[in-house]
A = this chain, B = another copy of it.
Amino acid sequence: MTRCFRIINELEADGVDFISSHELGELLGCTPSQVRQDLSFFGKYGLSGFGYAVGLLHHDLVHVFGADRHFPAILVGVGNIGRELLENDVLQGCGYELLAAFDSSPAIIGREINGFTVRDAAELEEFLRETPTDAAALCVPEEAVGETAELLCGNGVRAIWNVSGGEMKLPWGTVREDLRLSDSLLSLGYRVKESLTRREAVGE
């Protein structure tokens, strides 16, 4: 559904009024009947002969994904990935309000990136005590994940997006999402191997 939401976002931005389940299926790489089944879960958006009303669908999916909530969020760790998030407003584009970015490296603290002045990670705890913060994007080095996650959760952060590759244990009730580049790459490797094995078996 996140992909569907993203595509509906793009259609809405492009000023498309209606889209058929067939066209939407093409964009999503699934069948028209899968599209109809999935969207019927959220309500009735289809108009026979016209397709789906993009504006209505967009309005409701924004609500479903909380993209209208502007969750106050911070970014911790401004390495390559953190910089990517900062430079391209990635958090802001997904319904978060980015409040501040932190790093512990003197080479990065104080630098301005896309309107944000990177703050000293030593000020993180004080910042969280003073500023209600729902979510944190964790982009610190792997070995710093556990400690940083503990500090965040101990100071009111309810949701952690861990893009650091490290493992973290969180208090019960914390919302988490772990994104690991290497997991995705291993999954590709598994399928490449299967595909090559099949080709070898048929002597290709």
Contacts and interface: CB of A to CB of B under 8 A. Distances in A.
A180 B67 CA distance: 17
A185 B90 contact: yes
Instruction: Work out how many copies of this chain go into the complex.
Output: 2
A66 interface: yes
B192 A71 contact: yes
A166 to B, nearest CB: 11
B71 A189 contact: yes
A189 B80 contact: no
A69 B152 CA distance: 40
Contacts of A80: 80-81, 83-84, 87
Interface stretch (A2-10, A44-52, A101-109, A116-124): A2-10
A90 B182 contact: yes
Interface residues of A, number: 53
Interface in A147-188: 158-159, 161, 163, 167, 173, 175-177, 179-188
A159 B190 CA distance: 11
A196 interface: yes
Contacts of A81: 80-81, 84
A27 B6 CA distance: 33
A161 B177 contact: no
A50 B83 CA distance: 45
Contact of A186 (B79, B94, B186, B196): B94
Nearest to A80: B84
Interface string A40-66: 000000000000000000000000111
